[in-house]
Amino acid sequence: MDTRLKEWLKRYSIPELLGILGAYVGVYGYYFISSNPSDLTASVIGTWGENVGYYLLLIISDFRKTKLQNSDSKLLHNSYKTIRGLFLEFGIAELLDSFLIRPAALYFCMEYFGIGYGLLVGKVIADIAFYFPTIFFYEIRKKYNY
């Protein structure tokens, strides 16, 4: 297997699993507590539930990594470097993903396939669109040591 592919899988696989969990918990939690559920609202909740699950681990991991690499630096510098790198890596992809692609993919797929399978199919479709710019900017982040 290609070294970069292994690196990408190592970086993104566990956050993806937490993202899936966050999406399902969000959507099924919404349907459980709502007296008049809307698939459109569920798709937005699924998107943000996935974001929480996905980014929580990545942010913690990147802060730790930056702190270890710059142990003599100050907290403010480490925080700035981590946040700057995360914005470079995910910024453009996340804007498109969170506000357009993922909610639309989840909505249409949940309408067509039902909640359980639709959420998974919509997630995979959105992930394909999400990872093209994300991986491109991740490689730039590494190249320029962001």
Taking only the tens place, the pLDDT of each residue in 25-69 is 999 999 999 988 898 999 999 999 999 999 999 999 998 888 777
119: left (phi over 0), alpha (psi -120 to 50) or beta: alpha
Rounded to 5 degrees, what are φ and ψ at 105?
-65, -45
Alpha helix positions (H), 70-114: 75-96, 102-113
CB 23 within 8 A of CB 52: no
Local confidence band at 81 (pLDDT 50, 70, 90 cut-offs): confident
> Domain range spanning residue 118?
3-143
Q: Give the tens place of pLDDT for each residue, 104-135.
A: 999 999 999 999 999 999 999 999 999 999 99
Prediction pTM value: 0.88
Provide the domain count of the chain: 1
∠ CA 69-142-11, rounded to 5°: 80
- Is the confidence at residue 75, as pLDDT, over 80? no
Looking at per-residue pLDDT, the higher value among 96 and 145 belongs to 96
